[in-house]
């Protein structure tokens, strides 16, 4: 096993190369916008590379939904340009924290912008981790998810936070991008420190927490929100008056905009290495540093599609990544610090990283600027275009008539903006009514806040 000193030196060398890659001239410190946009437009084909046209049957789609974890799944169909939601017969606990109604809203918005989308069945794994592993001599499973990975066939949809995360007071993506243009988030106004918001939930984080004070001192700002209070906020604490979020926040609650006031933001994998707010922190123009072990990219099963397609490839730094993951490159918009050994050298390796960045402040600023540019290119029109391309491509992979047959078999009902709230169960309504609806008031138009009717309460609620 390599020594901590050797691992630290190698990590510092990796970071030095990443920093060196960042050009400091004002004219060359920008991403190639046209190339980036071409890559964004190729993402849907990349994520659908495992299937041939008309290769997925109704039987396979029914089996796919049945194979998803009951506590983390939902399903929709688009049929004749309209959104449908199945009668799930309470055979699922559904998605946590309002993910199902937020996805339903996103799909309704998508259909308003792309009314000619073809019929498609959309079973969704709404957990943080991908779940459809590629295996030898087994056809890949066509399930949608928020994340995917080299060894998985999950097809990633944009995650729920693009439309806002009510309990975290996180506004929709366009409002977030706009807010990050304010002067207090400019590079020169940021604090010369690194912030980490997280709990010691695994050996790496625990090892880091033990050595951080001695190695980093006041350079590191650590916030560890109370776990029980976070649970209370997310699950039980209801908002007050319309537009007023829950007033009770956990100890050491640190909103994302506060993190953006620091020049450096530290990320370490928790249960998964997917970072749902990574795009938000890229957008704030800080240097984002991911401290973790490089994934062991095992060989793919025989017959699986290669890891590169349509001009983009899976990122090297992450085991799990979202739809935009193939756009991430080490040293271009963020810094990856690879660990080896037990994790006891994590603090030394991070200190060496900060030292290298401090030696090249203009290059550090360049990395932050490129991360911000990448996030800005993922504006909502491109997010919707990606969704449209993805669902169109998925429709072409499914056999003709699959979506209509699935909607009939599952007794799906049409969802519209006019009846949206009849599908939202009582436990999920306060946040959706008082916060989410306020954020999207110009798009809700005259959507009534209808109470659930007996029919929907019995079998058709969003799970």
Q: Report pLDDT digits (tens) over 87-96.
A: 876 556 788 8
Count up the domains in the chain and report the number.
2
Average pLDDT, the chain: 88
**Secondary structure class of 230 (helix, strand, coil):** helix
CB-CB contact of 74 with 462 (8 Å): yes
**Secondary structure class of 409 (helix, strand, coil):** helix
**CA proximity to 332, closest of 319, 321, 317, 346:** 317
**Are both 301 and 347 inside the same structural domain?**
yes
- In the numeric block, the tokens 């029914």 are attached to 62
Q: How confident is the model at residue 306 (pLDDT cuts 50, 70, 90)?
A: low
> Is residue 174 assigned to a domain?
no
> Is residue 301 assigned to a domain?
yes
**Are both 229 and 153 inside the same structural domain?**
no
- Separation of alpha carbons 223 and 256, rounded Å: 12
Kindly report the CATH number assigned to the domain that includes residue 226: 3.40.50
The domain in which residue 275 lies consists of 4-43+181-377
Give Cβ neighbours of residue 276 (< 8 Å, ≥ 6 apart).
128, 146, 159, 161, 322
**Are both 315 and 366 inside the same structural domain?**
yes
Give the number of C-alpha atoms closer than 13 A to the C-alpha of residue 451, restricted to the C-beta side. Answer: 2
How far are the Cα atoms of 122, 180, 198 from residue 77, in angstroms, in the given order?
6, 36, 37
Look up residue 271 and give its DSSP letter: S
Look up residue 165 and give its DSSP letter: B
> Is residue 88 assigned to a domain?
yes
> Is residue 58 assigned to a domain?
yes
> Is residue 161 assigned to a domain?
yes
How far are the Cα atoms of 11, 211, 269, 273 from residue 321, in angstroms, in the given order?
22, 29, 12, 8
Q: Looking at residue 388, what is its pLDDT?
A: 98
Domain final residue, candidates 322, 350, 377: 377
**Are both 231 and 137 inside the same structural domain?**
no
% of the chain exceeding 70 in pLDDT: 86
**Are both 239 and 308 inside the same structural domain?**
yes
CB-CB contact of 58 with 120 (8 Å): no
Kindly report, residue by residue over 355-408, the tens digit of the pLDDT: 999 999 999 999 999 999 999 999 999 999 999 999 999 999 999 999 999 999
**Are both 195 and 269 inside the same structural domain?**
yes
Task: Check whether 443 has a pLDDT greater than 80.
Answer: yes
> Is residue 175 assigned to a domain?
no
- Separation of alpha carbons 363 and 18, rounded Å: 10
């Amino acid at each position: 096993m390599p020594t901590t000193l050797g691992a630290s030196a190698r990590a510092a060398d990796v970071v030095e190369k990443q920093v060196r890659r960042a050009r400091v001239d004002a004219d060359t410190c920008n991403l190639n916008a046209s190339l980036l946009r071409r890559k964004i437009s190729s993402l849907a084909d990349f994520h659908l590379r495992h299937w041939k046209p008309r290769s997925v049957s109704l039987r396979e789609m029914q089996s796919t939904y049945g194979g998803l974890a009951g506590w983390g799944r939902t399903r929709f169909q688009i049929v004749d340009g309209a959104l449908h939601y199945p009668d799930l017969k309470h055979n699922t606990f559904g998605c946590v924290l309002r993910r199902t109604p937020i996805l339903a809203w996103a799909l309704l918005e998508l259909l308003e912008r792309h009314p000619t989308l073809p019929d498609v069945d959309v079973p969704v794994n709404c957990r943080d981790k991908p779940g459809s592993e590629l295996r030898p001599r087994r056809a890949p499973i066509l399930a949608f998810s928020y994340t995917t990975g080299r060894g998985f066939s999950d097809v990633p949809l944009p995650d729920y936070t693009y439309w806002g995360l009510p309990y975290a007071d996180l506004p929709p993506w366009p409002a977030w991008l706009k807010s990050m243009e304010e002067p207090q988030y400019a590079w020169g106004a940021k604090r010369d420190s690194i912030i980490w918001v997280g709990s010691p939930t695994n050996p790496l984080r625990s090892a880091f927490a033990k050595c951080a004070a001695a190695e980093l001192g006041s350079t590191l700002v650590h916030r560890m929100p109370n776990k029980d209070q976070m649970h209370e906020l997310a699950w039980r604490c209801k908002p007050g008056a319309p537009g007023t979020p829950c007033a009770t926040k956990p100890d050491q609650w640190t909103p994302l905009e506060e993190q953006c006031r620091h020049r450096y933001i530290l990320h370490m994998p928790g249960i998964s290495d997917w970072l749902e707010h990574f795009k938000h922190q890229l957008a704030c123009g800080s240097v984002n540093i991911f401290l973790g072990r490089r994934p062991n990219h095992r060989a793919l099963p025989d017959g699986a599609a290669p890891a590169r397609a349509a001009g983009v490839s899976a990122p090297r730094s992450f085991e799990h990544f979202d739809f935009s993951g193939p756009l991430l490159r080490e040293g271009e918009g963020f810094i990856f610090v690879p660990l080896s050994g037990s994790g006891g050298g994590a603090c030394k390796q991070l200190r060496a990283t900060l030292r290298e960045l401090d030696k090249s402040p203009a290059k550090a600023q360049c990395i932050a600027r490129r991360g911000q540019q990448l996030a800005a290119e993922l504006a909502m029109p491109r997010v919707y275009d990606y969704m449209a391309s993805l669902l169109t491509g998925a429709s072409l992979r499914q056999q003709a008539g699959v979506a209509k047959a699935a909607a009939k078999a599952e007794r799906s009902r049409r969802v519209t903006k006019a009846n949206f709230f009849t599908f939202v169960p009582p436990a999920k309504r306060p946040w959706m009514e008082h916060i989410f609806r306020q954020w999207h008031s110009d798009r809700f138009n005259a959507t009534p806040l209808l109470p659930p009717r007996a029919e929907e309460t019995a079998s058709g609620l969003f799970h």
